[in-house]
């Protein structure tokens, strides 16, 4: 697999691989302005990283992402689920999900520059729940979607 020129099908294949967390008890680390937690994942052929970042100033400013570690050791972000704490293009202060695309990589942009409004989560816990389901990640028990949206219909 050429990690510098992935096709959309190859990106989808990497996302859909069944992955297992190898360090489920990793602790939060406080950094300037945020706290962060990085899980290591593997599927037998590839290594991945699942990261969580949460601003210490704004609960709506968070990020939950999945990276594949390329053979040269460099990470490539496949998915990134962000909170509503910032503007992304036309998306104004709404949760949004980034996905790596072939066209972004060919165009010299960040692979995960494409984003769409996300309505399935509103918190970091919810983003983690969704990315674990979407990316077929095992080994993180007791996940919840987070606080429910009181204004959506069942």
For 68-133, what is the HEC assignment? EECCCCCEEEEEEEECCCCEECCEECCCEEEECCHHHHHCCCCCCCEEEECCCCCCHHHHHHHHHH
The total number of residues written for the chain in this structure: 154
Q: What is the pLDDT of residues 3-60, one digit of tens each?
A: 888 999 999 999 999 999 999 999 999 999 999 999 999 998 999 999 999 999 999 9
Distance CA 66, CA 94 (A): 20
Closest to 61 measured CA to CA, from 52, 70, 72, 69? 52
- pTM for the predicted model, two decimal places: 0.90
pLDDT average, residue stretch 59-74: 94
Angle at the Cα of 25 (from 22 to 31), degrees rounded to 5? 105
Q: What is the pLDDT of residues 96-153, one digit of tens each?
A: 999 999 999 999 999 999 999 999 999 999 999 999 999 999 999 888 877 655 455 4
Q: Which residue's structure tokens are 């489920």?
A: 24
Beta-strand relationship, 47-55 and 62-69: antiparallel
* Domain locations in the chain as residue ranges: 8-138
Q: Which residues pair with 114 in a beta bridge?
A: 99
């Amino acid at each position: 697999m050429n990690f510098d020129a992935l096709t959309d099908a190859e990106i989808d294949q990497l996302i859909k691989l069944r992955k297992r967390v190898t360090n489920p008890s990793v602790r939060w680390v406080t950094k300037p302005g945020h706290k962060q937690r990085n899980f290591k994942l593997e599927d037998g052929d590839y290594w991945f990283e699942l990261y969580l970042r949460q601003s210490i100033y704004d609960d709506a400013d968070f990020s939950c992402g999945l990276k594949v570690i390329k053979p040269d050791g460099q990470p490539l972000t496949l998915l990134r689920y962000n909170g509503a704490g910032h503007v992304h293009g036309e998306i104004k202060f709404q949760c949004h999900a980034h996905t790596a695309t072939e066209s972004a990589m060919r165009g010299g942009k960040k692979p995960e520059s494409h984003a769409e409004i996300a309505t399935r989560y509103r918190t970091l816990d919810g983003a983690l729940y969704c990315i674990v389901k979407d990316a077929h990640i095992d080994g993180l028990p007791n996940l919840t979607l987070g606080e429910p949206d009181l204004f959506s219909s069942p």
